């Protein structure tokens, strides 16, 4: 039997992937989570894409989650009189809060975030356009930042500004984000990603707004500020406050420097999994496929390394949103994930040996994984769940045994699409006599050809099927 891919694929929808035909082709190619980038597009476009994804997924009998990605406080320069300028190394260049926002020159440009002047000091380095242009701050007054160009080049309208080492004080949630949270609630999105959070308090604030809007969406913290990775305490604070994190390598790489990025990616993935949280690896994973039907070897290696580090998901951005080969990008990513998962290290776990557990359901989940990894006859793990928390914890452990999330809740069915190595089975245990539940659950997998006579199965459940967090039992059953 062909092995089933465990690492999930997140792909951004955009102009290249709005048609029903493209969305269907991407789902068939392996799309697990559709991302809406609220930095681009109108609410009406996002509504239409959500309706199409849901309708097509239902028709194909696939469980596809949808994530709304908030824009956050992107700090930008304003616009140039002629659309773009070229800056030369060594020349002076001024960022001004008073200069007209549409009259920039090669000597001065307006800024759309006036507090930037309070965040800068002489000697700071400002990185524009994802670090393509670098400025050194010479002096600061009440209205402007005087700089010298260290690395020059072409600079066009509305490019982003980062400060090396972080420290820009913009709040994590903007008025636009508040409106987009309301849209996420209206569209019943499964995940909301928060851009540029600095602390766990930023994530808690976002969660309060999401819940106040009436949404049960899980919250993803995008790790992209230097402050968020200043030390393990800062990183763990963000992770604990969230339901999952995204290694957002664009702005993070600009703020901390690209040399540190690979090591930090591994640390973030490791910490997230230890703390029972999801983790997505993102940004430029297959950038060349915006204009090419095949990835570079370096991109293949990048995706494979994230898979071997046991990320839950890998993500496509412009490759699928505006590229020429969005379906091929998903196909290539799925192929690379499957290839990397064939390495024995991807199923061998030494995780949490000697650690204590915090909850009953965590204890059952991890005991199940230990049994599955040490009893060769186990062919499947069935988790009867309300919220999806038990299969989530199970999926933190490296294993080659598939985990099946049996749930009656549509939201949980979609949400589990992001969990590594977890596959959704719609199942309502409350409609069956308790004595029949185990056999009915096993019969579904046997009818799908996933189990055969003589196989062993681990089944976890709670005494009361309607209680979230109530998993307190594990059985090892023989398929008859």
Catalytic center residues: 35, 76, 222, 283
Among residues 36, 41, 19, 438, the alpha carbon closest in space to that of 220 is found at 36
| Whether 184 contacts 214, CB under 8 Å | no
Ranges assigned E (strand) in 353-441: 378-384, 403-407, 422-426
User: Helix %, strand %, coil % for the chain, to 5?
Assistant: 40, 25, 35
Measured between alpha carbons, how far is 39 from 78 in angstroms, rounded to an integer? 16
Measured between alpha carbons, how far is 27 from 53 in angstroms, rounded to an integer? 9
Measured between alpha carbons, how far is 71 from 462 in angstroms, rounded to an integer? 40
Measured between alpha carbons, how far is 18 from 145 in angstroms, rounded to an integer? 42
Q: Which residue has the tokens 């199940």?
A: 368
Measured between alpha carbons, how far is 337 from 306 in angstroms, rounded to an integer? 9
Burial grade of 452 (CB within 10 A; 0-12, 13-18, 19 or more): exposed
Ranges assigned E (strand) in 2-45: 8-13, 33-37
List the alpha helices (DSSP H) in 161-248. Answer: 175-186, 200-212, 232-241
């Amino acid at each position: 039997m062909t092995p089933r891919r465990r690492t999930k694929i997140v792909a951004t929808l955009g102009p290249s992937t709005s048609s029903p035909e493209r969305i269907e082709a991407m789902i068939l190619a392996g799309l697990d989570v559709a991302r809406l980038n609220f930095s681009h597009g109108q609410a009406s476009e996002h509504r239409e894409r959500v309706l199409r994804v849901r309708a097509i997924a239902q028709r194909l009998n696939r469980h596809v989650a949808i994530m709304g990605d908030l824009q956050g406080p992107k700090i930008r320069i304003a616009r140039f009189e002629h659309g773009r300028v070229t800056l030369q190394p060594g020349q002076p260049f001024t960022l001004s809060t008073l200069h007209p926002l549409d009259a920039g020159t090669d000597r001065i440009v307006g800024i759309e975030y006036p507090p930037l002047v309070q965040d800068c000091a002489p000697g700071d380095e400002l990185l524009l356009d994802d670090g393509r242009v670098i400025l050194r701050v010479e002096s600061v007054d009440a209205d402007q930042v005087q700089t010298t160009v260290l690395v020059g080049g072409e600079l066009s309208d509305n490019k982003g500004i980062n400060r090396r080492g972080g420290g820009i004080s913009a709040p994590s949630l903007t008025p636009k984000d508040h409106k987009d949270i309301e849209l996420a609630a209206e569209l019943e999105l499964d995940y909301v990603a928060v851009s540029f959070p600095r602390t766990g308090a930023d994530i808690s604030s976002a969660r309060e707004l999401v819940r106040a809007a009436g949404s049960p969406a899980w919250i993803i913290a995008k790790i992209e500020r230097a402050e968020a990775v200043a030390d393990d305490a800062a990183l763990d604070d963000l992770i604990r406050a969230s339901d999952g994190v995204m290694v957002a390598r664009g702005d993070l790489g600009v703020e901390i420097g690209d040399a540190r990025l690979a090591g930090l990616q591994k640390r973030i993935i490791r910490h997230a999994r230890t703390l029972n949280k999801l983790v997505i690896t993102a940004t430029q994973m297959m950038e060349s496929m915006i204009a090419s039907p095949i990835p570079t070897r370096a991109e293949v290696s990048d995706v494979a390394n994230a898979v071997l580090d046991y990320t839950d998901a890998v993500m496509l951005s412009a490759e699928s949103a505006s590229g020429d080969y969005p379906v091929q990008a998903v196909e290539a990513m799925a192929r690379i994930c499957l290839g990397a998962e064939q390495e024995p290290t991807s199923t061998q776990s030494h995780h949490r040996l000697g650690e204590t557990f915090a909850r009953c359901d965590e204890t059952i989940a991890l005991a199940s994984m230990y049994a599955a990894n040490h009893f060769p006859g186990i062919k499947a793990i069935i988790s009867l769940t309300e919220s999806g928390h038990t299969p989530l914890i199970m999926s933190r452990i490296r294993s080659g045994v598939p985990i099946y999330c049996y749930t009656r809740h549509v939201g949980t069915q979609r949400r589990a699409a992001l969990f590594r190595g977890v596959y959704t089975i719609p199942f309502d245990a409350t409609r069956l006599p308790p004595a029949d539940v185990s056999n009915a659950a096993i019969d579904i997998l046997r009818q799908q050809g996933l189990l055969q006579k003589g196989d062993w199965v681990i089944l976890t459940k709670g005494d009361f099927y309607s209680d979230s967090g109530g998993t307190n039992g594990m059985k090892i059953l023989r398929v008859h």
